[in-house]
Amino acid sequence: MQAPYRQVHVRPECAPEAVLSHPSWKEGLRTLQNPAWPLLRLSALLFLTGPFDSLEGLAQELPSPLDIDGVTYQDPTKTLLDHLDCIQRLSEIKTGRPGVGLPVILSETGDILDPMEAALALIHQQALERELERANSLLCAPCGCALCCTGPSPGSRKLFFEIPLTGEECAIFPLPVIDTPKSRTLTSGDEPPLFFSGRPFYEGDPGIYRWSDGPSLILPVGTRCPLLEETCRCRIYSARPRVCRLPQVFSVVVEQDGGRFVRRNKLLAVWDCPYVRALTNEIETYARRNGLTVVYRENKGEHGSFMRHA
Ligand code: SF4
Ligand code: SF4
């Protein structure tokens, strides 16, 4: 009898006409082609140097449509108002309280950014996280791909994939939780591996394991997440765990490096993802308009645990 949550899954390319003409794909593409950052950056400079008492007031003064760096904003007022929660920290600088609530952010050469540069870097990071999560959902949906929700393919050199979870997220999954004194002394990457039911943990069925560095969902070779439907959609999509929400193109404007924050100005794109491979030109243009450098890399690396670090 076939074990539960096992399947041979298909990983199609995002190229067929049905995908390219799908409304969700088109909307995702529009999101990439119209990044908010050029407008936010201009608004920040206008606000800090102009006679504006508030960002809301500035938003009402923006002409429409507005062309900036090759991006046409049909309704710049709405775009700016949609990002008010990100950009609001500029008010502290405008009112002469620079640095209030800001962490120390270093350049890659180790210099401390001044409060305005630090605030802009944080605004940029926050705006991109939101924008790219939205683009990811829109572009992923029509691809019919389940790569993020399945274990390695049979024949892969990888032994398992891992999705880190919070304690609360463990309860979402209808799976056994393996939480033993031994599991709590190990991580999933340790050698020799944790044995469970007489075999290495990654040779069993999908399960939740409680490691020394926190719990995770383990998907062995040829398995899928129990919440993945036959249609390649997630049964709990709107309530899916945090790691499942990470986009396949994600911003590293500011990175936490140990106890420090460092400005990186990078855009990481996960090459395994079919929509990333289909949209390299669009991703390059998106990065240029954001003043970022694109770095492509394989996500599901040799140890099957990249998602922990993504
Ligand atoms: S919870 Fe949903 S999004 Fe996350 S791995 Fe399972 S099916 Fe995929
Ligand atoms: S985000 Fe990309 S890799 Fe993940 S399931 Fe969607 S299309 Fe596949």
Q: Which contacts (CB < 8 Å, 24+ apart) does range 107-113 have?
A: 107/262, 107/263, 108/262, 108/263, 108/264, 113/263
Q: Whole-angstrom Cα distance, residue 70 to residue 96?
A: 34
Q: Which residue, by CA, sits nearest to atom 1 of ligand 2?
A: 140
pLDDT tens digits for range 155-212: 888 899 999 999 999 999 999 999 999 999 999 999 999 999 999 999 989 999 999 9
**Ligand 2, closest atom to CA 273?**
3
The tokens of 219 are what?
């998907």
* Confidence (pTM): 0.85
Residue 145 CA, ligand 2 centroid: distance in Å: 6
Contact 39, 80 (CB under 8 A): yes
Q: Pick left, alpha or beta for residue 149 (phi over 0 → left; psi -120 to 50 → alpha; otherwise beta).
A: alpha
Residue 145 CA, ligand 1 centroid: distance in Å: 12
Residue 229 CA, ligand 1 centroid: distance in Å: 9
**Length of the chain, in residues:** 310
Backbone angles phi, psi at 39, to 5 degrees: -70, -40
Residue 185 CA, ligand 1 centroid: distance in Å: 27
* Of 308 and 72, more confident: 72
The tokens of 71 are what?
């991006």
Report residue 103's pLDDT band, with 50, 70 and 90 as the boundaries. Answer: confident
pLDDT tens digits for range 254-272: 998 888 999 999 999 999 8
Report residue 69's pLDDT band, with 50, 70 and 90 as the boundaries. Answer: confident
Question: 148 exposed, middle or buried (CB, 10 Å; 0-12, 13-18, 19+)?
Answer: buried
pLDDT tens digits for range 107-125: 999 999 998 899 999 999 9
pLDDT tens digits for range 123-164: 999 999 999 999 999 999 888 888 899 999 888 888 999 999
Q: Is the beta carbon of 40 within 6 A of some atom in ligand 1?
A: no
Sign of the alpha-carbon torsion through 271, 272, 277, 279:
negative
Q: Whole-angstrom Cα distance, residue 228 to residue 174?
A: 12
Residues 6 or more apart in contact with residue 8 via CB below 8 angstroms:
154, 222
Residues 6 or more apart in contact with residue 309 via CB below 8 angstroms:
none
Report residue 298's pLDDT band, with 50, 70 and 90 as the boundaries. Answer: confident
Domain ranges in the chain are 17-144+244-309, 159-220
Residue 244 CA, ligand 2 centroid: distance in Å: 10
Which amino acids bring their CB within 6 angstroms of ligand 2?
A: 136, 140, 143, 145-148, 248, 272-275
Q: Which residue, by CA, sits nearest to atom 3 of ligand 2?
A: 273
Strand ranges for 140-206 from DSSP E? 160-164, 177-178, 195-196, 199-200
Residue 308 CA, ligand 1 centroid: distance in Å: 15
Within 13 Å of residue 20, how many CA atoms lie on the same side as its CB? 6
Q: Which residue, by CA, sits nearest to atom 7 of ligand 2?
A: 140
The tokens of 288 are what?
């240029």
Q: Is the beta carbon of 165 within 6 A of some atom in ligand 1?
A: no
